[in-house]
Amino acid sequence: MASGGTHSTLGILAGGGNFPVTIAELAKRRGRSVHIVGIQGEADPAIERFPHTWIAWGEVGKLLDALNRAGADELVIIGGVKRPDLKSVRLDMGAIRNLPLLISLTVGGDDTVLKNVVRFFEAKGLRVIGAHDAAPELVVPAGPVGNLVPSEDARRDIARGIEVVKALGKLDVGQAAVVVREHVLAVEAAEGTDRMLERASELRQWGERARGRREGALVKTSKIGQDLRVDMPVIGPRTVERAAAAGLAAIALEAGRVLVADRAEVERLAQEAGLAIFGVTVD
Amino acid sequence: MASGGTHSTLGILAGGGNFPVTIAELAKRRGRSVHIVGIQGEADPAIERFPHTWIAWGEVGKLLDALNRAGADELVIIGGVKRPDLKSVRLDMGAIRNLPLLISLTVGGDDTVLKNVVRFFEAKGLRVIGAHDAAPELVVPAGPVGNLVPSEDARRDIARGIEVVKALGKLDVGQAAVVVREHVLAVEAAEGTDRMLERASELRQWGERARGRREGALVKTSKIGQDLRVDMPVIGPRTVERAAAAGLAAIALEAGRVLVADRAEVERLAQEAGLAIFGVTVD
């Protein structure tokens, strides 16, 4: 959990989406000053409402300087990034000085890269914290998100889904599954939750399962050993839309370990579709 | 394993594909007489090379009579079937007499239906045996299928895949996974092996993993508790083609518990693609 003297500045290294701005807003509301470092071509220009610095991929020196000058001792790394186009990478002196370390980032699987990113910043005296530490409001609570609760049938599907994602999580595979009438329709591995939901949609269209009423659940959790500081599961409006299109009755999310992007919109869409979103505890 | 006095007739209830004819050939080669009952619109006309009877969906009386007259005491149910068009169903007297039993077949999940089918025939004095009992030649042996063996890298992927499908099998989910460089790319649930392989293909196309050389493995096993008499995992030429298209280096199959359709063609395609097929023991 966050310690971070509330008077120190919170650094935010911002990729795409609206999490960076939301986190900045929530931190400010709590009286904390922020400094956002936006990656060009990734971060939303809306970050300019806050003290900010733009950097290109590779401008490591500029990044560290900006955070240093702002007096940041904690850093949140948040928002989606596309793999940088090599032509857009600018290596500044800070990057060149740290080249061996930076090269090590490109080696190994995604998990290794993320671990190395954390290690890099911590070696520079910045404590990397998760979005859930910086802004606990963004995390799925235990219980209903919005005003619908899962039916008894949906709760049975959720229980089955939790069983499956727990078993998979132990093996470091995916983190989500779709269960309809206690039958496991789809399991997520590398394709991501959106594509799994599309598949579930198609499977239900030709199956006899499409009965015109909502049934089944999407279950999504974090993986065991997942570093939530740099790699936290997220759902947002699109997840709700796709779950609704797949005819599901509920979305169950691991309480405390899944972020909700644009929660107001998520709740609105869920309510409109008659789909219950619920935070569950997974031990 | 098969007992079946080799002098009794082997009944074969035939859906689509060439398994029915192959099983008939192998049984005949062993000196056993056969009688094939082909389902119209499903079974291959090639069954007519053997003593046979055609039935429509629902002609239960005709089916039982044919098997009875042929002196069949064992029955193999084999080949794919589409869900029957209700208009093509003809209920004969045998069906009407057995109506309560037949209705029970339409209730419950696929597993329950298959169990009831077995129970139905056994109540009529026919022992239902699996294709693997009737023709052990059709089953994946332990060791190489064809003349290629998996590389050390592929064997690591296979080991990881076995771990995943074992965990899933215990939960009665799917029976296959694709692993590349020990990373689980795709897990099968209700969509089937072909669609999972297509997904693996696409994921590798945009991933950095497509390096122009084969790597990774498809692992396919039976599920714990799966009734191999009526529901045995199968691979065939199409599986090999799709695994090759996904850039995989190996296919690992549970020895003794997966059927190979058109083995000569499977081996030819695997050799051509440079893809190793291997039977593994899964405990």
- The per-residue pLDDT for range A157-168, each reduced to its tens digit, is 999 999 999 998
pLDDT of amino acid A221: 94
- Looking at chain A, the whole-number percentage of residues with pLDDT higher than 90 is 60
Say if residue A1's pLDDT is above 50. Answer: no
Say if residue A254's pLDDT is above 90. Answer: yes
- Please indicate whether residue A109 or residue A65 has the higher confidence score (pLDDT): A65
Least CB–CB distance from B109: residue in A170, A183, A189 = A183
CA distance A67 to A49: 17
Number of H helices, E strands in chain B: 10, 13
Q: Taking CA atoms, what residue in A is nearest to B180?
A: A190
CA distance A196 to A198: 5
Say if residue A177's pLDDT is above 50. Answer: yes
CA geometry: angle B228, B230, B232, nearest 5 deg: 45
Least CB–CB distance from A171: residue in B164, B185, B199 = B164
What ipTM, to 2 d.p.?
0.74
| Chain A partners within 8 Å of B201 (Cβ) | none
Count of CB pairs separated by less than 8 Å, A with B: 68
Residues recorded for chain A? 283
Give pLDDT tens digits for B109-151.
566 667 778 888 998 899 999 999 999 999 999 999 999 999 9
Pairing mode, strands A176-180 and A217-220: antiparallel
Say if residue A260's pLDDT is above 60. Answer: yes
What integer is the mean pLDDT of A111-123?
80
Q: Which residues contact A179 (CB under 8 A, 6 or more apart)?
A: A157, A158, A160, A161, A164, A185, A216, A217, A219
Are the beta carbons of A184 and B183 separated by less than 8 Å? no
Which residue, B71, B62, B73, B8, is CA-closest to B37?
B62
pLDDT of amino acid A178: 96
Q: Taking CA atoms, what residue in A is nearest to B195?
A: A199
* Phi then psi dihedrals of residue A73, to 5 deg: -115, -10
Kindly state the helix (H) or strand (E) to which residue B93 belongs, with its residue range: helix B93-97
pLDDT band for position A174 (cuts 50, 70, 90)? confident
Say if residue A235's pLDDT is above 60. Answer: yes
Selected residue of B110, B112, B173, B223 to mutate for chain A interface (largest A Cβ count, 10 A):
B173
Using DSSP, state whether A13 is helix, strand or coil. Answer: strand
pLDDT of amino acid B253: 97
Task: Quote the minimal CA–CA distance from B168 to chain A in Å.
Answer: 7
Say if residue A89's pLDDT is above 80. Answer: no
Are the beta carbons of B189 and A185 separated by less than 8 Å? yes
pLDDT of amino acid A74: 95
Say if residue A257's pLDDT is above 60. Answer: yes
pLDDT beneath 70, residues of chain B: 1-7, 83-86, 100-113, 205-212
Task: Quote the minimal CA–CA distance from B270 to chain A in Å.
Answer: 26
Task: Quote the minimal CA–CA distance from B164 to chain A in Å.
Answer: 7
pLDDT of amino acid A80: 78
Pick from A86-95, A108-117, B193-202: least confident:
A108-117
Give, in order, the Cα–Cα distances in Å from A209 to each of A203, A204, B115, B130. 9, 6, 21, 29
Task: Quote the minimal CA–CA distance from B184 to chain A in Å.
Answer: 6
Give, in order, the Cα–Cα distances in Å from A203 to each of A180, A218, A274, B175, B231. 11, 14, 21, 17, 20
Are the beta carbons of A199 and B186 separated by less than 8 Å? no
Least CB–CB distance from A191: residue in B109, B172, B203 = B203
Give pLDDT tens digits for A23-41.
999 999 999 999 999 999 8
> For chain A, where are the alpha helices, taking DSSP H only?
19-29, 60-69, 93-97, 99-105, 110-123, 131-134, 152-170, 193-206, 237-245, 263-273
What integer is the mean pLDDT of A100-106?
64
DSSP-derived letter for residue B189 is: S
Say if residue A76's pLDDT is above 90. Answer: yes
CB A62 within 8 A of CB A53: yes
- Looking at chain A, the whole-number percentage of residues with pLDDT higher than 70 is 88
CA distance B132 to B139: 6
- Residues of chain A whose C-beta is under 8 A from some C-beta in B? 109, 163-164, 167-168, 170-174, 177-178, 183-191, 195, 199, 203
Kindly state the helix (H) or strand (E) to which residue B101 belongs, with its residue range: helix B99-105
pLDDT band for position A54 (cuts 50, 70, 90)? very high
Selected residue of A157, A163, A173 to mutate for chain B interface (largest B Cβ count, 10 A):
A173
Using DSSP, state whether B246 is helix, strand or coil. Answer: coil
CA distance A159 to A283: 12
Q: Taking CA atoms, what residue in B is nearest to A165?
A: B168
